[in-house]
A and B are shown apart, each in its own frame.
Chain A
Amino acid sequence: VINLMDELTLKGITQYYAFVEERQKVHCLNTLFSKLQINQSIIFCNSVNRVELLAKKITELGYSCFYIHAKMLQSHRNRVFHDFRNGACRNLVSSDLFTRGIDIQAVNVVINFDFPKNSETYLHRVGRSGRFGHLGLAINLITYNDRFNLYRIEQELGTEIKPIPPQIDRTIYCS
């Protein structure tokens, strides 16, 4: 489950961004859930508060979701993560607490509901352990304020995050 940072790679992950306004984000998420083929997904927010708000919001919209964040008791976090890993739920809303990357084989889609501020965080959220060549999809919701961070993170990680196309080929993220 836990990987040291130096093992994380973006290889095999196709990365896209969608340029949105803050108030369009939930709608955009809804659209993604009606188009993609998601085995399990993790949706990242930048604060504990936003994790709880988003989890509440999307539960109302009919997703099955758990949430996990840094202010929860460790024992509670462990249980949520364990249940998610076992597939009790399909989607997990999370803050940045997986400081060493996550490796759940069934997670084929990661959504940055809030774009991270630095490349290290981005890599921890999106990267996979190099030993497994899993295919995956990362979708970044980018607001006007995130535009420089997007450019900087792309540069620092030497990777390319392309605008999201109208149709996403399933074979790039489904085994």
Chain B
Amino acid sequence: QSYGEDVWEGLDPNVREKLAFLMNSVAMINVGEKAADMLSFLLPEHYEHFAVYLVAKRVSQEQNNQEVYLSLLKKMNLSGFTKAVLKASYHCVNILLESENVLNPGPERNLLKNLGIWLGELTVARNRPPLAKYLNLKKLLLEGYEHGRLSATVPLVCKILLGCGKSKIFKTPNPWLMSLLSILAETYQLELRLNIKFEIEFLFNKLQLEFEDVPVRNHFARISADKRPTESKTKEVIESKAQEEKVEAPS
């Protein structure tokens, strides 16, 4: 995937080199100092380019550094830049969701999961909902079911909702959260790959919830019969399951 590359190349080479150096050396021990450095040369005209680079090349690939990057954003405290980063995050998630590779285990699915964790930190963990006009989580799950794309959308939604663990608002019985958890609890009952189910279990665990705590409202049953996954799709799922087990076995 090449998203972000051309945007990055479009930046002034001097600024690009300073930013790359900074992003290669920022860590928890120097984040305040690096934020000040960044503020000394980052202009509003760079926000969008840098935001796309940060999300597409750093955040999505370096899950281990996300905490540092979040802290950097916080220390920089530029609302315009933070907005650009949020926008870039939605943008990258949507690009990945359209990819076919994301349905199977591999680098792209990992990027999507990493972005999910990040987006959860930027939104729900800060008591802000992900905006449905950019990313409609409920729709992702329901349409994911219809179109056989749950193997991508379930992990994404679960990772985003992990951020709810830090929220004062998005906890039970918040209706927005409960409706999503209800669909996830229902998804858990479907014939799905174990690692997809595990994402749901992991989320419930982190939020300290039991499946019994969340009423299932049979969303999927209400999706009309002609829209349900056809047999061939189910077969595909089983086949890719076999493939996945082969790939993931060593870990």
User: What residues of chain A have their CB less than 8 Å away from a CB belonging to chain B?
Assistant: 30, 33-41, 62-64, 87-91, 105-106, 131, 170, 174-175
Q: Quick one: which of B5, B18, B30, B62 contacts A39, CB cutoff 8 A? A: B62
The answer to whether A39 and B250 touch (CB under 8 A), given A64-B30, A90-B24, is: no
* A40→B23 CA distance, assembly (Å): 11
9 A-B pairs in the complex with CB atoms less than 8 angstroms apart: A33-B20, A33-B21, A33-B25, A34-B17, A37-B20, A91-B24, A106-B65, A170-B5, A175-B61
CB-CB under 8 A from B28, the residues of chain A are 87-88
- A39-B64, A39-B65, A131-B250 known; A89 vs B24 contact (CB < 8 Å): no
> Which residue, of B23, B24, B61, B110, has the highest number of chain A Cβ atoms within 10 A?
B24
* Cβ of B35 to closest chain A Cβ, rounded Å: 13
Partner of B110 from the list A36, A62, A175 (CB cut-off 8 Å) is A175
A30: chain B residues at CB < 8 Å are 21
Contact: B27 with A88, CB < 8 Å?
Answer: yes
Interface size in chain B (residues, C-beta < 8 A): 24
Q: Which of B21-61 contact A (CB under 8 A)?
A: 21, 23-30, 37, 57-58, 61
Q: How many angstroms from the CA of A67 to the CA of B5 in the assembled complex? A: 33
CB-CB under 8 A from A106, the residues of chain B are 62, 64-65
Interfacial chain A residues near B18, Cβ < 8 Å:
34
Q: Is the CB of A63 within 8 A of B25?
A: yes
* B73 interface residue per 8 A CB criterion: no
Residues of B contacting A87 with CB < 8 Å?
Answer: 27-28, 64-65, 68
Identify the closest chain A residue to B62 (Cβ): A39
From DSSP, what is the main secondary structure of chain A's interface residues?
Answer: loop
Q: A64-B27, A89-B29, A90-B26 are in contact. Are A34 and B21 (CB under 8 A)?
A: yes
Give the nearest-CB partner of B20 in chain A.
A34
B61 CB → nearest A CB, Å: 5
Inter-chain CB contacts under 8 Å: number: 64
Asked whether B229 is an interface residue with its Cβ less than 8 Å from the other chain, the reply is no
Q: Once the chains bind, are A89 and B27 in contact (CB under 8 Å)?
A: yes
In the complex, the answer to whether B20 meets A35 with C-beta atoms within 8 Å is yes
Point out the residues of chain A lying under 8 angstroms from B25, CB to CB.
33, 62-64, 90-91
Closest 3 pairs (CB-CB, A-B): A34-B17, A64-B27, A38-B24
Known: A34-B18, A38-B24, A87-B68. A64 touches B61 (CB 8 A): no
Task: List 6 additional A-B contacts (Cβ < 8 Å) besides A37-B58, A38-B24, A64-B30.
Answer: A37-B23, A37-B24, A90-B27, A174-B57, A175-B61, A175-B110
A26 to B57, CA, bound (A): 26
Q: How far is the CA of A36 from the CA of B20 in the complex (A)?
A: 7
In the bound complex, residues from chain B placing their C-beta under 8 Å from that of A41 are: 24
B10 at the interface (CB under 8 A from A): no
CB neighbours of B250 from chain A (8 A): 131
List B contacts of A105 (CB < 8 A): 64
Distance A41 CA – B26 CA, assembled complex (angstroms) = 13
Is B215's beta carbon under 8 Å from chain A?
A: no
Contacts of A91 in B (CB 8 A): 24-25
Residues of A within 8 A of B26 (CB): 64, 90
B24's contact among A36, A88, A131, A170, by CB below 8 Å, is which? A36
Q: A33 CA to B28 CA in the complex, in Å?
A: 18
* CB-nearest residue of chain A to B58: A37
User: How far apart are the CA atoms of A131 and B249 in the complex, in Å?
Assistant: 12
Docked complex Cα distance between A170 and B5 (Å): 9
- Kindly report which residue of chain A lies nearest to residue B16, judged by CB atoms: A34
Closest to A174 in B: B61
Contact B61 A39 (CB under 8 A): yes
Q: Is B57 a contact of A37 with CB atoms below 8 Å?
A: yes
